[in-house]
Structure 1
Amino acid sequence: MQDNLYDCPEYPLLLILSGPSGVGKDTVARMLIERRPDSFYFVVTATTRPPRDNERDGLDYFFVNFDEFAHMIETNELLEYAIVYNDYKGIPKQQIRDALASGRDVILRVDVQGAATVRHLIPNAISVFLTTRTEGGLVRRLHQRKQDTQEGMALRTATARQEMKRLAEFDYCVVNPEGRPEVAVERVLSIIDAAHCRTHQEPVRL
């Protein structure tokens, strides 16, 4: 039998991991990296908000002041940026370029607003909407975080309800079961593996 004369083209992917606040994006992204540390690169977002007790600069976020963030905007260092709950968040471009050049898949953890911008700029990105089984489950997770005032919690809950309405804009929807994030991780890994097997692939371009 003659050997196959054709190679299947395969390029590094850009995965947009999004969903409402409190749905577990950070946990799922971290577990994806732990499962395949040599295959994935997690893009660290820059933000002007102060770090929480369990967050580390350069690992969870780049924590910068407003002047530093303004400089990043002026020098065109950000793929996209937005105001989220009165603070700025933005995605540094160079991290993505370096990761793609190394052959690794890139994971972007962004809110629903940022995901829409990235999908517009990079149409061949793979987008995954992470959600809970019920709205009540999402509200319960937000309360369990205990990171907001009563007014702040009301704002996050209202925002989450609006974000849920944009689910159909994404390529995939993955439920993150409460207490079982490994289920969501396995599904996202399956999506990534299937995307690498597509017959029509193009390199990600910034």
Structure 2
Amino acid sequence: MERGSLFILSAPSGAGKSTVIRELLGQEMVPTDSLRFSISHTTRPARRGETNGKDYHFVDEGRFHAMAEAGEFLEWARVHGNLYGTSRGAVEPFLARGIDMLLEIDVQGAEQVMERADGAYGVFLVPPSYAELERRLRGRGLDEASVVARRLAVSAWEIKRYVKYDYVIINLDAALAARALAAIILEKRYQRQRRTDEVEAILADFPAEDC
């Protein structure tokens, strides 16, 4: 069985990563039996409306550091003062079964994965403008003004990291961006290397050639 691929979605805070992923999964633009979304661990406090185990696994710093020291994370990084990480246990079993994994992680963590893992593809989501990014961050009303200012201050640095990625999507509209992300995932899935086992199994049913 061919191993699944890792698709890593990164963007500045407020660029619409979570919205695009919800659109992709909610509309089943990619068959859900062959794609899973990895839920990250974080030490960040849960925001209004977030659910532990659905949006993130919310843990304290002690638990997070214990997991990191035990080698349980595929990647981890400190972002905007909080720790974020992707556990190997949430990813490896699915990849081994040929199921693709979608990760929503920051540029630091993404670069770790793309350097270390085979079959990892980076997708960078870019906001249409600075003004739109600021409007989205302030409009969602989830963070204090000082936190919004800090996120905006590092956004240009984050966007400049797009050159490390394989694909870039300009997020003018969440539905369109989700379709673009789905197209990237499906394009990789239908490459010859990913279909070899299936084609060989089909060929086994054909009569032997006489020539």
| TM-score interval, smaller chain | 0.7 to 0.9
Residue matched to 2:198: none
Q: 1:186 to 1:10 in 2, by over 3 A?
A: farther
Specify which structure has the higher proportion of helix. 2
Residue matched to 1:30: 22
Amino acid corresponding to residue 178 of structure 2 in structure 1: V
Q: 1:124 to 1:148 in 2, by over 3 A?
A: same
Amino acid corresponding to residue 166 of structure 1 in structure 2: R
Instruction: Find the structure with the greater CA-based Rg.
Output: 2
Residue matched to 1:193: 186
Q: Equivalents in 2 of 1:125, 1:14: separation in Å?
A: 4
Correspondence 1:114-153 to 2 at 5 A: 114-153=109-148
Q: Report the aligned-residue RMSD.
A: 1.8
Equivalent pair of 1:10/1:196 in contact (CA under 8 Å): no
1:11 Cα deviation (Å)?
Answer: 4.1
Q: Deviations over 1:48-87 (max 9, x none)?
A: 1111111110111000111111210121111111111111
Equivalent pair of 1:11/1:196 in contact (CA under 8 Å): no
Identity %: 37
TM-score (norm 2): 0.85
Q: Secondary structure at the match of 1:154?
A: helix
1:122 Cα deviation (Å)?
Answer: 1.3
Equivalent pair of 1:48/1:64 in contact (CA under 8 Å): yes
Correspondence 1:24-173 to 2 at 5 A: 24-34=16-26, 35=28, 36-173=31-168
Q: Secondary structure at the match of 1:103?
A: coil
The unaligned stretches of length 5 or more in structure 2 are 195-211
Q: Equivalents in 2 of 1:173, 1:37: separation in Å?
A: 23
Equivalent pair of 2:3/2:97 in contact (CA under 8 Å): no
The unaligned stretches of length 5 or more in structure 1 are 1-8, 202-206
Query: Is 2:170 aligned against 1:181?
Result: no
Equivalent pair of 2:6/2:120 in contact (CA under 8 Å): yes
> How many pairs were matched up?
192
Q: Deviations over 1:85-108 (max 9, x none)?
A: 111111100111111133221001
Amino acid corresponding to residue 109 of structure 2 in structure 1: G
Q: Equivalents in 1 of 2:83, 2:163: separation in Å?
A: 26
Amino acid corresponding to residue 69 of structure 2 in structure 1: E
Q: Equivalents in 1 of 2:147, 2:45: separation in Å?
A: 16
Equivalent pair of 2:123/2:166 in contact (CA under 8 Å): yes
Equivalent pair of 2:2/2:98 in contact (CA under 8 Å): no
